Structure 1
Amino acid sequence: MKLDAEFDPLAEALHALRMTGVFYCRSEFTAPWGVTLPPVTDCLWFHVVTAGRCVLEVEGAEPRTLLPGDLVLVPHGRGHVLRGTPGAAVPAIEGIAHNYVSDRYAILQYGGGGAETVLVCGAVRFDHPTARYLVDLLPKIIHVEPAGAPQAEWMQSTLRLIAAEAATLRPGGEAVITRLSDILVVQGVRSWLENDPSARTGWLGALRDSQIGRALTMVHREPEREWTVASLASELAMSRSAFAARFTDLVGEPAMQYVTRWRMLVALDVLRTEGASVAALAGRLGYQSEAAFSRAFKRIVGVSPGSVKRVSPALATW
């Protein structure tokens, strides 16, 4: 397989960040106010401040003051607190009345009648299981202040559009806000990847490596190939021993263990989304028998492939 010289393995990882919006909300708070947002399994929370200011508190991280134009991500579905003034009570947001515009978009108005803070908030779930490799590496908070970001003007324009739509929800406004919010989430992750030194280590660092990044790309693109350490090393014009050592050092696990894990991630996604038979999927991923595939799947995922087809994607986690 020939790889495009311009291909960016990191871009392909970002492509895996397909999202499903679980919940979006335009929040209009007046001082004094505070709310507690619940943990949401396998989801990423985001908040965009369009007016006013507030403080975000996530356990284990320094509180962050958020100003108009700021975007903040809470990547691991962790519960957290937003408050407009120090010491304000923080009731559970589920107990506050919402005006539901649709089944996943609401308008929330809450507070004591003082200074106003307006946010667009939401929780999104990543559809593709391979996104876990990336999302698991994200910090507890990603705080993007557009004025200081390389993509400042682009983000400011997007935020202005969201603010305008949120101010007076017109026909189609919900769709505009949710789609722009999803774009901002990906942009927020990109900002972290470009600016945080910790994004240059581990699996992400391996993707950036000129040799191991190519090996990962080959496995990602053709998981069904009968890969071996020798064949991967040959593709990169490396010795078998040098490739094996470098792969393990950068990725954190041996090459063939990674190949198997990646195949099972692909299988998990197909089982959840396409409804393929186990036998067909085994052949599609290069296994000579359904039994061999099923054993590998259960070893990596923890359940049989047949059981994944019978439960909802939210329950088939590992």
Structure 2
Amino acid sequence: MTEPHVPDPSLLAQPIGDPLGEILHLLKLTGTFYCQSRLSAPWGIAIPGFPDVMSFAVVIGGRAWLKVGEDAPFEIQKGDLVLMTHGAPISLYSDPEARLMQLEELPIRKVTELYETLEYGGGGAECSIMYGLVRLDHASAPLLMALLPDVLKIDPWEEEAGSWLQGTLQFIAREARELRPGGETVITRLADVVVIEAIRRWLSRSPDADRGWLKAARDPQVGRTIVAIHREPAADWSVETLAQVAGMSRSGFAARFTGLVGTPAMQYLAEWRMNLARRTLQETALPIAAIAADLGYQSEPAFSRAFKRVFGTTPGQARRVSMENPA
């Protein structure tokens, strides 16, 4: 048995200027697939859905139509960035009448494990699109993903002239056209930055971003406790100690946390620990007992019960599934 980890007393007085900023500071992407395509009309590509993975399309040249899931198709053109957040299948085509081909049936050329190129079409009007699959690589990802709209579309040309986003997309376009040595590495890294920026812009500009967990993270009192939990997930937190961090009474804090987040504080703590645990199980070979101890559980069985309550499966089963189906 491990000894309970007492919360760091400094958290009770430590100033936290921007709780949401601190949470998003750790946000990063893990790219799973990138495809740079050169297409000529007529052409159509059907891309399957991938649960828990976001997809994006950057139009480098020309124009195309995009259909996400069962939604109505819409036109996209040079400079547009579209982020599809919930893993729905998508279709890209030169015009609504074009015949769709499954992505895996097309003449894709593998450049690296993560980067592929595609040249395809009937020889008409040209279009160049970069398509990618990315995964949010942080334990907050499920919380954020649940609040994001299905589709985020950004037109960087609406920004002031010379904005860094315009410049970055222009640089991606140049690298895609020339594909110099190491170009695929440059493109994939820049694409990750652009996707993160799309999410950040939605967070800062959309009224829909001011709800649920995101609204709670912005709250000066509840936001402090969310950051404290994230900084020290293994601490022996209680409603009383979290209320101290918030500078509120126990009852006032409990009601405010539940009202903003949608779940009680101790349930949020347990689910946060389990999100961390699942990521550690998927990405490392650490023994389950060590993961349990690192997250403040005094025994492996207690940890396993908590994990199963949240995910409906045991830690061992979750690890086996991730090994059988690597991202």
Tell me if TM exceeds 0.5. Answer: yes
Cα deviation for residue 82 of structure 1 reads 1.1
Q: Check conservation: 1:55, 1:65, Cα contact below 8 A.
A: yes
What code does the residue aligned with 2:183 have? G
Q: Check conservation: 2:81, 2:155, Cα contact below 8 A.
A: yes
Cα deviation for residue 35 of structure 1 reads 1.3
For residue 268 of structure 2, the aligned residue among 237, 249, 258 is 258
The residue number in structure 2 matching 1:84 is: 94
Alignment of 1:223 onto 2:244: no
**CA distance in 1: counterparts of 2:101 and 2:326, whole angstroms:** 31
For residue 209 of structure 1, the aligned residue among 207, 219, 222 is 219
For residue 37 of structure 1, the aligned residue among 44, 47, 53 is 47
Q: Check conservation: 2:139, 2:272, Cα contact below 8 A.
A: no
**CA distance in 2: counterparts of 1:123 and 1:8, whole angstroms:** 30
Count, aligned residues: 317
**CA distance in 1: counterparts of 2:118 and 2:280, whole angstroms:** 37
Cα RMSD (Å): 2.1
Q: Helix, strand or coil: the match of 2:321?
A: coil
**CA distance in 1: counterparts of 2:145 and 2:32, whole angstroms:** 17
For residue 120 of structure 2, the aligned residue among 110, 114, 137 is 110
With 267-276 and 183-192 compared, the bigger mean Cα shift is at: 267-276
Q: Helix, strand or coil: the match of 1:136?
A: helix
With 223-232 and 150-159 compared, the bigger mean Cα shift is at: 150-159
**CA distance in 1: counterparts of 2:246 and 2:271, whole angstroms:** 21
1:162-182: CA deviation from partner (whole Å, max 9, x where unpaired): 000000111000101110111
Give structure 1 regions of 4+ aligned residues with deviation exceeding 6 angstroms. Answer: none
Cα deviation for residue 289 of structure 1 reads 2.0
Higher relative contact order (CA 8 A, sep 6+): 2
1:3-30: CA deviation from partner (whole Å, max 9, x where unpaired): 7646432233334433222211111111
Cα deviation for residue 150 of structure 1 reads 7.1
What code does the residue aligned with 1:133 have? L
Structure 2 gap segments, 5+ residues each = 1-9
1:152-201: CA deviation from partner (whole Å, max 9, x where unpaired): 71111100110000001110001011101111110111111111111110
Structure 1 gap segments, 5+ residues each = none
Superposition TM-score, scaled by structure 1 size: 0.93
**CA distance in 2: counterparts of 1:60 and 1:16, whole angstroms:** 33
After superposition, the Cα gap between the structure-2 partners of 1:253 and 1:273, relative to the gap in structure 1 and judged at 3 Å, is same
With 22-31 and 121-130 compared, the bigger mean Cα shift is at: 121-130
Q: Helix, strand or coil: the match of 2:37?
A: strand
Q: Check conservation: 2:27, 2:137, Cα contact below 8 A.
A: yes
The residue number in structure 2 matching 1:235 is: 245
Superposition TM-score, scaled by structure 2 size: 0.90
What code does the residue aligned with 2:197 have? Q
Cα deviation for residue 273 of structure 1 reads 2.2
Q: Check conservation: 1:32, 1:85, Cα contact below 8 A.
A: yes
The residue number in structure 2 matching 1:72 is: 82
What code does the residue aligned with 1:270 have? T
Q: Check conservation: 1:54, 1:83, Cα contact below 8 A.
A: yes
The residue number in structure 2 matching 1:168 is: 178
The residue number in structure 2 matching 1:19 is: 29
**CA distance in 1: counterparts of 2:117 and 2:14, whole angstroms:** 46
Alignment of 1:154 onto 2:164: yes
The residue number in structure 1 matching 2:38 is: 28
Alignment of 1:100 onto 2:122: no
With 147-156 and 292-301 compared, the bigger mean Cα shift is at: 147-156
With 123-132 and 96-105 compared, the bigger mean Cα shift is at: 123-132
